[in-house]
Structure 1
Amino acid sequence: MDSQDFAVGIEDVKAAAGRLQGQLASTRLVESEALNAKYKARILFKPECLQRTGSFKFRGAYNRISQFNEAERERGIIAYSSGNHAQGVASSAKLFGINAVIIMPSDAPQTKIANTRSYGAEVVLYDRYNQNRDDVATPFIEDRGMILVPPYDDPSIMAGQGTIGLELVAEAKERGFEIDDLFVPTGGGGLISGISVAVKAGSPRTRIWGAEPEHFDDLRRSLIAGERVTNEAGHRSICDAILTPQPGELTFPINKHNLAGAIAVSDSAVRGAMRDAANHLKLIVEPGGCAAFAALASGEVDIEGRTVVVVLSGGNVDLDIYGGMIAAA
């Protein structure tokens, strides 16, 4: 497949950046001398945990919803999410005065459920291990006519997330360095596919690596197989934000073309990365949001002497649970 046949191109990402202008919090790169010394590399972190709604998800949700016409706005929005997409959609819907229903796992962090409700969305809970979220959403789509805003497999969502890549390339140019390696957390692949489109357009030599929880490494295995594969049921992880069954239909071709590979990380490694982010960067990062840092720390990619960027994709975590994870690390 030629890159021009992909669902999202660089012009789509640039258009998304135009729609998002004035709506985003600044998440300029930060670094730590101690971490640079520890890994013998220059490591810069993109703190999307400081983004509006506490994660990168606002970017894609706003880009998609901003393109609704009046008739679509009157129909309302339905979305499903473990929490970060939920908050991005709920917040964006509120900005445009659109009713939103969000289907969330009953075991999602309470802070994510509470924050989603705080934006005025109706939250419907389901059992992620025994129910299919598509089945839960069907009545809202078929009976109430609401419009589904998917979490990742949508061109406008992917393009919105890709604005992070534009910012990375622009800041690297501004500060006079080149990005050798880029680590990005991945679930369905919306974030990393959008970012990869922008980064490969502006920095073709950059190696891009996905990061996933153990037993949810569908992207890693799909890249090896050359086709989409599904995760086996019955496993759990603390990385609630990036637990998806398989790569997206639209995201995978882009990732297959642009990525150098993907790395599976343990919950223990993620806790260690969260602790280092708190200790050295003074940032609260949720488990899924720290998967890319854990992947870098795994040593699977040789980064010595290189300039590396790590995306910290979100910071929405219950503080009591967060404290326990940091202590366990």
Structure 2
Amino acid sequence: MLDPTLLQTAWFAIIAFFFAGYFVLEGFDFGVQMNVAASWRRGSGARGTILKTIGPVWDGNQVWVITGGALLFAAFPEWYATLFSGFYLALLLLLLVLIVRVCAFKWRDKVDSERWRTSWDVVHVIGGFAPALLWGVAFGNIVAGVAIDQNHWVTTSLLGLLNPFALLGGVVFVLLFWLHGTVYLTLKLEGPLREDMHRRAAVLVWPTIVAGAAFLLWFQLAHSRSGLTWIPLLLAALALVAVVPLTRMRREGLTFGATATAIIAAAVTLFGGLFPYVLPATNDPANSLTVVNASSTPHTLTLMLVALAVLLPIVLAYTIWTYRVFRHRIGEDSGPASGSPLMERARGAYRRAFEQS
């Protein structure tokens, strides 16, 4: 049960890749929404400017978790089913928050009313903090393990999921995404808001380093199943420490690369330390789910791999193109950045598509 095939191992790595990509891309979306709360006193105009930085890309970033969840269901159906048997309420709450979050993006500017915009800004704040916290708690329980019966049903109670290790994971996800989103805003904003984000990033990095170090060291010493995960753990630590001098030097691109590296390295640490398990059983190791007993048939995994090899380059190319088109900085009164006529037409058509109700 602990000797996976190359195909099963490859699909475990693919699932890890999609979730790491989701945390990097959607992570700064969550962080931007958290900064709506931190910039509340600047008024709805400033809050709207902050949200504009992710207006064209947030829903594309969200596709990564949809794809990752679909691949998880197809490649490891037993893992998917067992997760929902114990995490149903938490995942349902996460889904509801993400749905209402979509409404906040689409409806905030549909009515010219300060109260209306302020109400949706509250939803944006919740839509930033709540998913980050829930993802952290969920992954904390996944990598540490839960009680599972012989039918592969999770028997840990909801209160049992709120254990110290998982709650620390929730705090780390919140801080790391908040820092990541703040650094992203230093790349996208100009003027006083940009200066605010520089000061905020310089403050946020310290609790992120402390909480992140505590969480990953706890995981490595108590729950990791591989000594090799010390390597990505140290890389994550170095990347976060590098944020301190890079922020002071105002090297915004390198700082964003450092926070993205920290997120990827942390994801590699968690998934690498979990392998070859996908959901350990804390009550009886025999009930644990592994890459072997939770996977689909080799025929299914092979067909999916062929389809992914065709479609993934298209998705990556489209994602890169989107960020290329919307790479310019914005201010409270700024308009679209200038460019070639072809790029301007593409940018205009893309914006109009996202402005449709």
Same fold (TM over 0.5): no
Q: Which has the larger radius of gyration?
A: 2
Q: Give the TM-score taking structure 1 as reference length.
A: 0.28
* Structure in which a larger fraction of residues adopt helix: 2
Which has a greater percent of strand? Answer: 1
Q: Which one has more relative contact order, counting CA pairs under 8 Å at least 6 apart?
A: 2
